[in-house]
């Protein structure tokens, strides 16, 4: 590929965005840490199943919502320097919506006093028969299907606590995915209804792109959220992933997305610096859900959705092991892994947290390179 001076300028500017983003995030990260400690926005282990792992106990009291250092830095820098470009406002909006969902969940887990519960279907059926208030009995009967959905959704959430329930999270994630799909299908035009098939060109799938995008955003947001379970694991992996997206955006001629991905990678460098064990803060749902949604939409915009399982390899593997574990529990009646997601499986097998994180980083980087190579065909 012949690189013209204009392309080199874009790459140079993108690297500048990454450096500035990392620098600004580094300047105000200590203020965020102080704020989180001051208002006791810290990890509470009362409902944490990983306490079975001895090393987990030391994480009690570590500030959460550290992902704000990335979310806010990326949003502000994009608004100030990359906002006039038509490609960036929806990705930032979807990122902020998903981050808001995660922030609400983090906040509820900190301030509410009791664990939130969902009624069993037997209890609902009994109330329909015996409740003293006739209007309440009618209401319970009419909303029985929704009660079944809420109860069934608990299968996807291993350990409900004081925060949002699975069905509430899925609804908001569906909304974020729907906004993305609407934008791509109706605003970006016909060419974005084509999916890039590596080695085989493009295929136009028409309106089917809508449910595929919604599923992609929801799945990827949850995948990053699940991978955020060890100090440095999600942050370090996301640096590699967004750096790869920056390269693909640059090669594909998506200037504004090149800058956005570079800005995100830069802010993640600062986050990971403070998140390396022993972590000064943890990402929290506000960061993992927001960045997971941003990862999905950025790959969709540059038409690299099919290589997302490689570009985001670690995250997809993590969520896949959770799905396999759930299937094993309900279908086979036994666990497939010692604990899911898979990083806890290896921890229970005797790997230290540092060993697990570093090996996962290396494996992830290898698959990202494979994804980059395939995406260029």
Name the nearest CA neighbour of 292 among 254, 347, 351, 237: 237
- Asked if residue 225 belongs to a domain, the reply is yes
pLDDT in tens, 179-234: 888 888 887 877 777 777 887 777 888 888 899 999 999 999 999 999 998 999 99
- Asked if residue 170 belongs to a domain, the reply is yes
For 35-41, which contacts have Cβ atoms below 8 Å and span 24 or more sequence positions? 36/63, 36/64, 36/65, 36/66, 36/281, 37/63, 40/110, 41/65, 41/106, 41/107, 41/110
Name the nearest CA neighbour of 121 among 153, 148, 142, 145: 148
Which range of residues forms the domain containing residue 360? 5-117+160-375
For residue 153, the model assigns a pLDDT of 61
Task: Tell me, rounded to whole angstroms, the distance of Cα 77 from its chain centroid.
Answer: 21
**CA 240 to each of CA 32, 134, 187, 257, 363: distance values in angstroms, whole numbers, following the listed order:** 24, 58, 30, 16, 11
- Asked if residue 54 belongs to a domain, the reply is yes
For residue 166, the model assigns a pLDDT of 75
For residue 194, the model assigns a pLDDT of 77
Q: Which secondary structure element, helix H or strand E, spans residue 194, and what is its range?
A: strand 194-197
- Asked if residue 124 belongs to a domain, the reply is no
- Asked if 235 contacts 284 with a C-beta cutoff of 8 angstroms, the reply is no
* DSSP structure string for 63-88: B--TTHHHHHHHHHHHHHHS-SSTTT
For residue 67, the model assigns a pLDDT of 96
- Asked if residue 137 belongs to a domain, the reply is no
- Asked if residue 138 belongs to a domain, the reply is no
- Asked if 103 contacts 285 with a C-beta cutoff of 8 angstroms, the reply is yes
What predicted TM-score, i.e. pTM, was given to this entire model? 0.89
pLDDT in tens, 126-147: 777 778 778 877 887 777 776 7
Task: Tell me, rounded to whole angstroms, the distance of Cα 155 from its chain centroid.
Answer: 20
How many alpha carbons fall within 13 Å on the CB side of residue 312?
A: 34
* 352 DSSP 8-state letter: -
For residue 159, the model assigns a pLDDT of 53
pLDDT by 10-residue block (mean), the chain, 377 residues: 75 96 97 93 67 62 93 97 82 94 85 66 77 80 73 60 72 88 83 77 84 94 93 96 97 94 98 94 94 96 93 96 90 88 92 95 98 92
- Asked if residue 129 belongs to a domain, the reply is no
Number of independent structural domains in the chain:
1
Give, rounded to a whole angstrom, the gap between the first and last alpha carbons of the chain.
13
pLDDT in tens, 147-169: 777 666 666 655 556 667 777 78
357/344 Cα distance (integer angstroms): 11
Structure tokens at 25: 């995030």
For residue 141, the model assigns a pLDDT of 79
């Amino acid at each position: 590929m012949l690189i013209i001076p204009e392309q080199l300028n874009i790459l140079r500017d993108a690297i500048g965005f990454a450096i500035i983003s990392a620098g600004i995030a580094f300047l105000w990260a200590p203020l965020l840490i102080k704020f989180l400690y001051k208002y006791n926005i810290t990890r509470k282990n009362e409902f944490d199943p990983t306490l079975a792992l001895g090393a987990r106990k030391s994480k009690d009291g570590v500030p959460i919502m550290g992902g704000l250092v990335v979310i806010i830095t990326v949003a502000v820098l994009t608004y100030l320097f990359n906002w006039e470009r038509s490609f960036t406002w929806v990705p930032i909006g979807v990122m902020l919506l998903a981050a808001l969902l995660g922030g609400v969940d983090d906040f509820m887990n900190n301030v509410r006093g009791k664990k939130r519960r969902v009624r069993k279907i037997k209890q609902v059926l009994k109330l329909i028969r015996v409740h003293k208030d006739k209007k309440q009995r009618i209401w319970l009967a009419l909303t029985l299907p929704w009660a079944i959905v809420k109860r069934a959704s608990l299968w996807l959430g291993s350990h409900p606590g004081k925060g949002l329930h699975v069905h509430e999270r899925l609804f908001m994630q569906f909304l974020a995915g729907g906004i993305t799909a609407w934008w791509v299908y109706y605003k970006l035009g016909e060419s974005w209804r084509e999916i890039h098939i590596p080695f085989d060109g493009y295929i136009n799938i028409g309106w089917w792109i809508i449910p595929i995008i919604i599923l992609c955003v929801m799945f990827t947001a949850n995948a990053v959220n699940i991978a955020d379970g060890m100090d440095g694991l999600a942050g370090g992996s996301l640096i590699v992933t967004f750096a790869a997206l920056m390269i693909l955006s640059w090669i594909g001629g998506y200037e504004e997305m090149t800058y956005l991905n570079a800005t995100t990678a830069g802010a993640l460098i600062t986050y990971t610096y403070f998140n390396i064990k022993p972590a000064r803060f943890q990402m929290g749902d506000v960061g993992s859900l927001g960045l997971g949604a941003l990862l999905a939409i950025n790959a969709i915009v540059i038409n690299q959705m099919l290589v997302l399982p490689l570009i985001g390899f670690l995250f997809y593997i993590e969520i896949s092991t959770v799905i396999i574990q759930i299937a094993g529990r309900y279908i086979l009646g036994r666990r497939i892994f010692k604990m899911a997601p898979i990083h806890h499986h290896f921890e229970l097998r005797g790997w230290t947290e540092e060993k697990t994180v570093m090996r996962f980083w290396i494996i992830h980087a290898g698959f990202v390179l494979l994804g980059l190579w395939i995406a260029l065909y």
